[in-house]
Amino acid sequence: MSETTIQAHAASASTAGNSSTTRPPLLEVRGLRVLYGPVVAVDGVSLSVPVGQAVAVLGANGAGKSSTLRAVAGLQRSVAGEVFMDGEKLERRRTETLVQRGLSLVTDTRDLFPRLSVAENLRMGALGLKARDFASRRDEVLTLFPLLERRLGAAAWTLSGGEQQMLALGRALVARPRVLLLDEPSLGLAPLVVETIFTALAKIVAAGTSILLVEQTTVAALKLASYGYVLRTGRIALEGESAVLRGDPRVLDLYLGGGDAVQA
């Protein structure tokens, strides 16, 4: 992956976000707890996402990253914890309600409509919008992902993995979310495609959209994000500014299954 490209965009994204550091977080999660039967998947996770910044949630497989994101988005029931947006508690986290509030999720499975065309999938992300408004937002997405413009009439199932990820992101973006929740956007993609995706994400952040990113590709995630949380067995084992985490050997230790002595 090209470090220069991502660092250049990440720098502009960081600059855009610095003005919001004294403001309350746009998204805040307090004491989130998720169970799968008797198994505790997420245990007391608290995190926040500032206005106009990206925040990364990192960890090995089974650490509780995706469960955390799905619970925030209302796709997974939590037995404890609260989610706030703009300081207001989100009582019922139904997908349509969250989208209306400005929060959109792109899952690791992308959840596209495989038999619908690229254009139709994009339209599904902006139901209720007038045609003129949708056209404007679609043009913004196609500027960000020009590969999709050539495939507008193609069925989603015919796209490559990278194109499908771009389409999933584009469908979420036509709703103009204030907070974009992303679950493993690099999953199964070639390095050059990952570079393209993360370059686009940096532009999205630089334009003012906040991102909560679940990711296993630590290097790319911490270059995009301004702050990171590292999970282990459902708990926050380490957190801090991304620049600090990039040089912290405990991050690798946690990925390799150690880190029992690390305090949250």
**Tens of pLDDT along 246-263?**
888 888 777 755 433 332
Residue keyed to tokens 């679940």: 214
For residue 136, give Cα distances in angstroms to 44, 94, 175.
41, 27, 11
Contact 26, 208 (CB under 8 A): no
Give the pLDDT of residue 97: 75
Contact 180, 212 (CB under 8 A): yes
**Tens of pLDDT along 13-46?**
443 344 444 678 999 999 999 999 999 999 999 9
What number does CATH give the domain 1-102+178-187+210-264? 3.40.50.300
Average pLDDT over residues 169-190: 93
**Tens of pLDDT along 71-81?**
998 888 899 99
Q: Which of 131, 75, 127, 67 is nearest to 98 (CA)?
A: 75
Average pLDDT over residues 230-251: 91
- pTM here is 0.84
Residue ranges of domains in the chain: 1-102+178-187+210-264
**Tens of pLDDT along 139-154?**
999 999 999 999 999 9
* Residue 101 one-letter amino acid: R
Q: Which of 91, 57, 52 is nearest to 74 (CA)?
A: 91
